[in-house]
Amino acid sequence: MSAAPIDLSTFHPDEIIYHCISPALDPETIRNRRKGHVSFCWVCLKTDTDVGRTLRRCGKCHLLSYCSKECQKKHWPEHKQECGKDDVPKFIPKLVKTLLANPLLCLQLQSCFVLAFDLIHRARRDEMLLAQLDVAVEPSNLTDFADIFLGQGSPKKEVPGMLQLNKFVPAKDVGSLSDLDPHVRHMHGFWRSEFALAESEGVYPCAVGMLAVSHPESELSFTVPLRILPSRRDFAHIWISGGLLFPSGVPGETIRVPYTVENCLQYINAHIRADTANQMLLRAVMRPFDIQLIRNAGMNFSPLAATVLAKMEREHVYKALWETYLERLKAAADRFRASGYKNGGGDWFLPP
């Protein structure tokens, strides 16, 4: 007796993609792929392969790579102006490389470029596509998140966290490129080299995106290239008609949403959240800064926290928490009005 043939049309494309990609999601494979991440010398653009070893990084900021002491010295007069000032926390570049080594999540990062730069209709091999990606670390457990956000409970000693993507802004929307990053000249070099490298490996991207990754703790960003493969455009057509499907946050439940840049981020964030066994290696312990950022968001306190609030408002998993937050804001506003504005509004947003 043979098994009944499986009707593939009953599956959502994301279920099939997940099935095909999941063998490549074990920690060992991700670690190996992460090792394969190529860095360029900031000065002469030589790669790890060119010099036959991993490029060394600036020992102070850990953000820039150099092929040699000579190249580092040459760049120092310029780099010392910014090195060591408000640096991106050291573990963030590693988490981002891990993200890029993950074929499932990388697919939707490429989608962000496909959608934001309209790569569906034409390849853009002649332009450097630049986008800013805001990342943060937040509690992997929603209860911890709610406790910090609403200012409840006694603070835990160690709060388990995870990488999250808060915002993707294509450079056409961020004003002048020099505002985004002072190193656009170098980025052009990276961008060209990444194309050449891809082609030497027999890969022909329809575009190469440059991601300027930034973290709220730092004014500096670091840049990583992302190859957009022509097949991603074909996938895009499937998602445009079928939407994106991913874990909702409730075990065993999925959610389906339209194919947009924000929902591609939500897809990535939801998969990281669902990975409770940390197979994807994207978990990290929350630092005081990360905790304070979420607390500030709960009090609507800091402009830096605006991205956290915007993410909460649009992502499914925070729905109940977001409603609680809005009710509290309203209640605080009502109390303030009832007080006849006597308190001057000093405690306007503070928890009751």
Q: Can residue 67 be called a binding residue for Zn ion (CB under 5 A)?
A: yes
Binding window for Zn ion (CB under 5 A); candidates: 36-44, 105-113, 149-157, 206-214? 36-44
Residue 38 binds to Zn ion (criterion: CB under 5 A): no
Site membership for Zn ion, residue 41 (CB under 5 A) = yes
Which secondary structure element, helix H or strand E, spans residue 50, and what is its range?
helix 48-51
DSSP secondary structure letters along 61-128: TS--EESSHHHHHHHHHHHTTTTTSSPPPTHHHHHHHHHHT-HHHHHHHHHHHHHHTTTTT---TTS-
88 binds Zn ion (CB under 5 A): no
**Shortest distance (Å) from residue 186 CB to Zn ion:** 12
315: closest CA among 211, 165, 215, 212? 165
Segment contacting Zn ion by CB under 5 A, of 57-65, 160-168, 186-194, 243-251: 57-65
- Region of 63-71, 258-266, 292-300, 304-312 interacting with Zn ion (CB under 5 A): 63-71
CB of 197 to Zn ion, least distance (A): 16
Tokens of 255: 């959610």
The DSSP string of 169-202 is: EEGGGSS-HHHH-TTHHHHHHHHHHHHHHHHHTT
Give the integer Cα–Cα distance in Å for 287 and 15: 35
Angle at which helix 306-314 crosses helix 319-338, to 10 degrees, equals 120
Instruction: Tell me: does residue 44 bind Zn ion (CB under 5 A).
Output: yes
Instruction: Indicate the residue type of 351.
Output: P
Tokens linked to 282: 């994207």
CB of 78 to Zn ion, least distance (A): 11
Q: How far is the CB of 304 from Zn ion (least distance, A)?
A: 23
Instruction: Between 60 and 172, name the residue whose CB sits nearer to Zn ion.
Output: 60
Q: Under the criterion CB under 5 A, does residue 83 sit at the interface with Zn ion?
A: yes
Q: Which amino acid is present at 143?
A: T
Nearer CB in complex with Zn ion: 88/135: 88
- Asked whether position 60 contacts Zn ion by CB under 5 A, the answer is yes
Among the candidate windows 67-75, 92-100, 119-127, 217-225, which touches Zn ion by CB under 5 A?
A: 67-75
Instruction: Determine phi and psi for 131, rounding to 5 degrees.
Output: -140, 150
Beta strands in 37-142 (DSSP E): 56-57, 65-66, 129-139
Shortest Cβ distance from residue 183 to Zn ion (Å)?
12
Q: Where are the beta strands (DSSP E) in 94-250?
A: 129-139, 160-170, 207-214, 221-228, 244-247
Sole binder of Zn ion in the list 17, 55, 71, 105 (CB under 5 A) = 71
Q: Which is nearer to Zn ion, 58 or 197 (CB)?
A: 58
Query: Judged by CB, which is closer to Zn ion: 60, or 192?
Result: 60
Q: How far apart are CA 4 and CA 323, in angstroms?
A: 47
According to the binding rule CB under 5 A, does residue 55 interact with Zn ion?
no
* Of 91, 160, 85, 136, nearest in space to 265 by CA: 136
Size of the site for Zn ion (CB under 5 A): 10
**Which CB sits closer to Zn ion, 46 or 167?**
46
DSSP 154: P
Helices (H) and strands (E) in the chain, counts: 14, 9
**Site mask for Zn ion (CB under 5 A), range 103-122, x = bound:** --------------------
> 67 vs 106, which CB is nearer to Zn ion?
67
Residue 270 contacts Zn ion per CB under 5 A: no
Interface residues toward Zn ion, by CB under 5 A: 41, 43-44, 46, 58, 60-61, 67, 71, 83
